[in-house]
């Protein structure tokens, strides 16, 4: 294989739904995404977040795309997901004036090489023309992966995990961006810190909402 064919092969995109060449989510598969309504919701036990917006359920192609983005190093999927998100937002006026990614601990950023929430913020910010505050909120202690934890364990696991630098988010309406919300414990823990730092409102925005079954 000559070099240009190798490059074509490496950068070819195949639909995560049907395998068709072109984009990660082809126009046909876009018609059958697991959409949910875009009204803001609260999850039980949340006290600080003003509401969460998630246009999709964590199922099917959306689930596959997020797994690729998070665990298989397919960073380019971020732009596709940000695009989908922006299309959903077009018809809904969303509150918020600045995007803030849910931070990962530096140790996990080193392992993965990037923070997927930061990539989503960056790509979405470009499309909908909102600034991104990528360094204000940070994770001050390393926490366990939430995947196998019950709802209460998740809440305790992230309590006190986040801190804030500077005053960039003071008096601001913040849109906290993450890939998936499950129990909402992480978003609420971030919102607590932001409100204590003077943010006026804190909304969550995630690609998908996952039903939490274990607790």
Using CB under 5 A as the criterion, which residues of the chain lie in contact with Zn ion when the complex forms?
15, 17-18, 20, 26, 29
What minimum distance in Å lies between the beta carbon of 20 and Zn ion? 5
What minimum distance in Å lies between the beta carbon of 169 and Zn ion? 39
State the residue for tokens 């397919």.
74
Q: Which is nearer to Zn ion, 15 or 77 (CB)?
A: 15
CA 53/CA 206 separation, integer angstroms: 6
What minimum distance in Å lies between the beta carbon of 207 and Zn ion? 18
CA 147/CA 159 separation, integer angstroms: 16
What minimum distance in Å lies between the beta carbon of 61 and Zn ion? 8
Q: Which element (helix H / strand E) includes 88?
A: helix 77-90
CA 12/CA 3 separation, integer angstroms: 14
- Around Cβ 138, how many Cβ atoms within 10 Å? 16
Q: Which is nearer to Zn ion, 25 or 102 (CB)?
A: 25
Q: Which is nearer to Zn ion, 18 or 196 (CB)?
A: 18
Q: Which is nearer to Zn ion, 31 or 44 (CB)?
A: 31
């Amino acid at each position: 294989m000559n070099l240009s064919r190798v490059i074509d092969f490496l950068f070819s995109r195949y639909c995560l739904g049907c395998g068709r060449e072109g984009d990660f989510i082809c126009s046909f598969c876009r018609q059958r995404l697991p959409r949910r309504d875009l009204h803001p919701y609260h999850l039980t036990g949340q006290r600080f977040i003003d509401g969460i917006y998630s246009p999709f359920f964590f199922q099917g192609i959306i689930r596959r795309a997020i797994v690729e983005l998070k665990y298989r190093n397919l960073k380019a999927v971020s732009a596709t997901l940000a695009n989908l998100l922006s299309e959903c937002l077009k018809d809904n006026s969303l509150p918020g004036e600045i995007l803030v990614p849910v931070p990962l601990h530096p140790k996990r950023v080193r392992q993965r090489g990037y923070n997927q929430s930061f990539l989503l913020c960056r790509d979405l910010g470009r499309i909908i023309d909102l600034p991104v505050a990528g360094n204000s909120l940070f994770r001050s202690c390393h926490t366990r992966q939430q995947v196998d934890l019950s709802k209460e364990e998740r809440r305790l696991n992230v309590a006190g995990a986040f801190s804030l630098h500077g005053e960039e988010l003071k008096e601001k309406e913040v849109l906290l961006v993450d890939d998936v919300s499950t129990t909402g414990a992480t978003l609420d823990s971030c919102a607590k810190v932001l409100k204590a730092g003077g943010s006026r409102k804190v909304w969550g925005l995630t690609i998908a909402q996952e039903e939490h079954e274990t607790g």
